[in-house]
Structure formats: structure tokens, C-alpha cells
Chain A
Amino acid sequence: QKEVEQDPGPLSVPEGAIVSLNCTYSNSAFQYFMWYRQYSRKGPELLMYTYSSGNKEDGRFTAQVDKSSKYISLFIRDSQPSDSATYLCAMRSEGGTGGFKTIFGAGTRLFVKA
């Protein structure tokens, strides 16, 4: 079983829809939860990060973490065609010798149709 599970999609929605992206994880040592967006032929860029259970909002994006269920979500409101990309969840725990171990989900491909 992978430490982080994420449905690869693809997920296709009409413009203006609310998008819900999710990941589950098995390692309770994860302390820091992130969402990255990756456009085709580009490296991932950090969208949002959270450190504890609860919600965090940034513009049209809301990240939600439920540590008790080991479940994280990213919501995109009023989705736009420019949101079409692959969304990767990532989780970080302390690694060895002072470093940190970051595990990524497989990524969900999102298409927003105009």
C-alpha cells in the first residue's frame, strides 16, 4: 500500500464548477500537508500548505486537513480553464539526520472546460 493515495483522474468539469481533490495517507508521522499544481512541461509549484487539521483559504482555493481520518482535500471555487493542470498532494515528516521526507501523491489531472 502506498503511503499517499490520490486518484489520478482525469477529472473534467465545466467552467465555474466547484472542484474537490482528495488524498488519503497512512503514515501518522506526516506533519505538513501541501498541494502543488503542475502545468504540462513545467515543474510543480506550491499552491497551499497546512500544518494542522482544519481549513485554510487562499482566494478561490481552500485546503482541508483531517488528521483523525488521514484525509486531505483541496477545493477550487469558480473553476477556470486556466486551472486545468495536474494537482499533486504532498506530505512531509521528519526524515533522518535533520532532514525531512516528502511524499507525493500520484497527481490528479484536472480539465476545466470553457
Chain B
Amino acid sequence: KAGVTQTPRYLIKTRGQQVTLSCSPISGHRSVSWYQQTPGQGLQFLFEYFSETQRNKGNFPGRFSGRQFSNSRSEMNVSTLELGDSALYLCASSLGTGSVNTEAFFGQGTRLTVV
């Protein structure tokens, strides 16, 4: 069974630009969560989508947004990029059912560099 696929793997953007990252979850998984990973802050939760609705949100500015499509694929968008947005962006998919012990599977991430 295919794992979580994130595209692109690497991206270089200029300050002020915007970027869109994509995540295809495991087949049958309806929940997609996004995380930002940096050496200084570790893994920080951005938001979670379930059945095309944002279900939870972390403490990031409004420049970070996302959406989920009917096939559960998700995109996240960062507008007006800042140097501090350089990070590894990870998405995790899970069944998303009403159980706290639903296992989440991570993709390999998109490495975003802002110059």
C-alpha cells in the first residue's frame, strides 16, 4: 500500500513569494495534519483537515493556510514568505476516526528554503 506522498521534495523561494505544498494521504485515510519542523523549534503543529474541513489549528499566522479536497489530498499555502519560514514541512495522514489512538503516518516532507 502506498505511503504518504509529499510534493515537491525540495523548493527554493524568494522572500515575499508564496508557495503551495501538496500531500496525498494513504488510501482510505481521511485526516491530514501538517507540521513545520525546524532545528530550533522542533515539530510544530500547523493544522489538521478531516473530510475537507479544518478540525484543529496550531499557533501560526494567517499567512499559513490549507485545504483538503474530496479525495482527501491536501495542500498548504504560505503567502508572503519570510526567511524564518525555511523548514521541513511534514504531513501526516491517519484514519481520523473518533479515537485518540489513531496512528499517524508521515510523509518524507518538503524542504522549503526561503532566500
Query: Which residues does A use to contact B, with CB under 8 Å?
Result: 6, 31-32, 36, 41-46, 49, 51, 88, 90, 92-107
A99 touching B56, Cβ below 8 Å: yes
Given A96-B56, A97-B56, A102:B42 Cβ within 8 A: no
CB distance from B53 to the nearest CB of A (A): 8
Name the contact of A88 in the complex, choosing from B43, B55, B102, B104 (C-beta under 8 A).
B43
CB distance from A71 to the nearest CB of B (A): 18
B100 touching A44, Cβ below 8 Å: no
In whole angstroms, how far apart are the Cα atoms of A98 and B54 in the complex? 11
Cβ contacts A to B, 8 pairs, < 8 Å: A32-B100, A32-B101, A46-B105, A93-B100, A99-B48, A99-B55, A102-B104, A103-B45
Query: Which residues does B use to contact A, with CB under 8 Å?
Result: 4, 31, 33, 35, 41-45, 48, 50, 55-56, 90, 92, 96, 98, 100-109
A97 touching B43, Cβ below 8 Å: no
In whole angstroms, how far apart are the Cα atoms of A101 and B109 in the complex? 20
- Determine the chain B residues whose CB is within 8 A of the CB of A44 once the complex forms: 43, 90, 106
11 more A-B contacts (CB under 8 A) besides A42-B108, A45-B106, A103-B45?
Answer: A43-B107, A43-B108, A43-B109, A44-B90, A46-B105, A96-B56, A97-B56, A99-B96, A101-B45, A102-B33, A104-B35
- Determine the chain B residues whose CB is within 8 A of the CB of A88 once the complex forms: 42-43
Closest residue of chain B to A31 (Cβ to Cβ) is: B100
CB distance from B72 to the nearest CB of A (A): 15
Closest residue of chain B to A44 (Cβ to Cβ) is: B106
In whole angstroms, how far apart are the Cα atoms of A49 and B101 in the complex? 8
- Determine the chain B residues whose CB is within 8 A of the CB of A41 once the complex forms: 108
- Determine the chain B residues whose CB is within 8 A of the CB of A95 once the complex forms: 48, 55-56
